[in-house]
């Protein structure tokens, strides 16, 4: 059964470059589109409201990263289990995985939206809101919360759709919402003068239509035939899904923690400089969301390679697993080199897209981008390697690796370095953490590849 399943499924026999292109390109586009929701808001808010509006969206951004963490916990976990089950020829188990995952998405999205509405003020204050931007942040976040269930289901389903062999449909789901968001943002902000609230409404309307597209796919699965009996929550199924999605999810949680620590550190140390509190906050939001575009390529590569790696590892075709990983890493280096050039040589042009500011604002934002993103050229290795371990069913290693940059290195450095270098210490923490995380990733992957070759010989 196992061999038959491998022969029949293109993941088991098609050339790796064509497979990776077919899965990764739509995944990259879908991830870019997801990132663009916040970036488009930031651009139009910067033009229509000003840098206080940008500071406010930066303060509320952790709400979105937490939502993404929930989506990836369930989506990547379900997709990894789904691919491994298909590779092993376990059709019925694959059906149960999908049904359990969709139920998890729905329940978690609703619970998260309710928690935001109840605890919004304490959360925004913890995220670094100031007296000047709090009202903007509240107005934006209360509306954004309504769309969280849509975002969880759409992002989670997109991973399952991709694992089912429909990466273009997955991409289309995300693209629909982004196009609607881009159209409605200027209408609500500049014509109806709704400010940050207008940007929020544009976002959730786009998310709703993406959600509808994702839900319609439930009846279109190609690899399995879903029935009503499969749509039930089981504790064992939820735990198995969470274990494989944990590394990707906690990476997003770590990003949230970094954002909170950085926001509070920037306001604290910024108050001691000529920049004040809000300029560093606004600059940080722009740099992080610009970097999110580059990270979207790495995430797309890792998610695009996941079905190929998971299926072939389940089918014990280890050479194909290694070739897929190597190709994904090579692509990441090419992309990150382009990002490095843009961040180092064209920071003013990038920052100008997000609205106008005074000389101090541009001075700090350019310095922030060049310094904090100096080591982006190696960022893809840690992210792709972390997802690699989840794809082969080794979530503990994936979890450990996903925590290296954000939790083990970056947060301590953000807290320690400013004691010696002031606000510049926060900026230096980025490249130092990136370099250390790269070394750890190379070490862990080298050991895993050695074990895989040993399994191959046996």
Residue 435, pLDDT > 90, answer yes
User: Is residue 7 pLDDT above 70, yes or no?
Assistant: no
Does 78 have pLDDT greater than 50?
yes
Q: What percent of the chain has pLDDT over 70?
A: 97
Asked whether 392 and 236 are in contact (CB, 8 A), the reply is no
Average confidence (pLDDT) over 62-71: 90
- pLDDT tens for residues 294-330? 988 998 898 889 889 988 888 888 899 999 999 999 9
Give CA–CA dist 388/303, Å, rounded: 9
Q: What is the enclosing helix (H) or strand (E) of 264?
A: helix 235-270
Nearest to 424 by CA among 350, 352, 367, 340: 367
Mean pLDDT for the stretch of residues 110-129: 93
* DSSP-derived secondary structure letter, 88: T
Whole-angstrom CA distances from 423 to 223, 286, 330, 446 are: 53, 17, 35, 37
pLDDT band at 105 (very low <50, low <70, confident <90, very high): very high
How does DSSP assign 26-72, residue by residue? HHHHHHHHHHHHHHHHHHHHHHHT-HHHHHHHHHHHHHHHHHHHHHH
pLDDT (0 to 100) of residue 442: 94
User: pLDDT by residue (tens digit) across 387-407?
Assistant: 898 888 887 788 788 788 888
For the stretch 128-147, pLDDT in tens is 888 888 888 999 999 999 99
Average pLDDT, the chain: 88
Least confident piece of the model among 86-90, 182-186, 207-211, 416-420: 86-90
Contact 27, 167 (CB under 8 A): yes
- Contacts of residue 392, defined as CB under 8 A and 6 or more positions apart, other chains included, come to 309, 310, 313, 321
For 322, phi then psi, to 5°, come to -65, -40
Would you state the structure tokens that stand for residue 454, as one six-digit string? 């040993």
Which of 78, 42, 45 is closest to 303 using CA atoms? 78
CB atoms within 10 A of CB 170: 29
Average of pLDDT values for 159-171? 89
Q: Three-state secondary structure along 316-338? A: CCHHHHHHHHHHHHHHHHHHHHH
């Amino acid at each position: 059964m196992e061999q038959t399943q491998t022969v029949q499924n293109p993941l088991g026999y098609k050339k790796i470059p064509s497979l990776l292109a077919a899965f990764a390109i739509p995944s990259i586009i879908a991830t870019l589109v997801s990132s663009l929701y916040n970036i488009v808001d930031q651009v139009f808010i910067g033009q229509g409201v000003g840098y206080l509006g940008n500071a406010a969206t930066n303060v509320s951004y952790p709400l979105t990263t937490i939502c993404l963490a929930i989506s990836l916990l369930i989506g990547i976990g379900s997709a990894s289990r789904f691919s491994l089950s298909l590779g092993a020829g376990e059709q019925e188990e694959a059906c149960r995985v999908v049904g359990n995952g969709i139920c998890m998405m729905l329940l978690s999205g609703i619970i998260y939206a309710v928690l935001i509405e109840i605890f919004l003020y304490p959360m925004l204050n913890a995220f670094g809101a100031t007296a000047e931007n709090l009202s903007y942040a509240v107005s934006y976040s209360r509306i954004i919360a309504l769309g969280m269930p849509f975002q969880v289901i759409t992002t989670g389903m997109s991973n399952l759709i991709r694992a089912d062999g429909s990466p273009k449909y997955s991409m289309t789901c995300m693209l629909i919402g982004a196009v609607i968001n881009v159209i409605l943002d200027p209408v609500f902000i500049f014509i109806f003068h709704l400010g940050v609230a207008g940007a929020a409404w544009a976002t959730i309307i786009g998310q709703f239509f993406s959600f509808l597209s994702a839900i319609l796919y439930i009846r279109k699965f190609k690899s399995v035939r879903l029935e009503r009996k499969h749509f039930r929550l089981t504790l064992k199924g939820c735990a198995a899904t969470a274990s494989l999605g944990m590394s990707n999810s906690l990476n997003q949680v770590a990003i949230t923690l970094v954002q909170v620590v950085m926001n509070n550190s920037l306001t604290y140390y910024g108050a001691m400089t000529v920049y004040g509190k809000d300029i560093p906050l606004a600059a940080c939001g722009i740099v992080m969301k610009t970097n999110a575009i580059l990270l979207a390529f790495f995430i797309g590569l890792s998610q695009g390679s996941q079905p190929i790696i998971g299926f072939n590892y389940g089918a014990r075709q280890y050479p194909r697993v290694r070739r897929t990983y190597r190709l994904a890493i090579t692509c990441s280096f090419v992309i990150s080199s382009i990002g490095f050039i843009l961040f180092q040589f064209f920071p003013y042009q990038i920052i100008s897209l997000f609205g106008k500011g005074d000389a101090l604002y541009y001075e700090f934002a350019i310095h922030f981008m060049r310094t904090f993103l100096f080591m982006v050229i190696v960022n893809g290795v840690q992210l792709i390697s972390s997802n690699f371990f989840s794809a082969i069913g080794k979530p503990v290693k994936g979890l450990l690796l996903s925590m290296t940059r954000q939790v083990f290195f970056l947060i301590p450095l953000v807290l320690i370095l400013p004691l010696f270098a002031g606000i510049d210490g926060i900026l230096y923490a980025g490249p130092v953490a990136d370099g250390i995380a790269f070394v750890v990733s190379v070490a862990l992957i080298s050991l895993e590849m050695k074990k895989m070759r040993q399994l191959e010989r046996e």
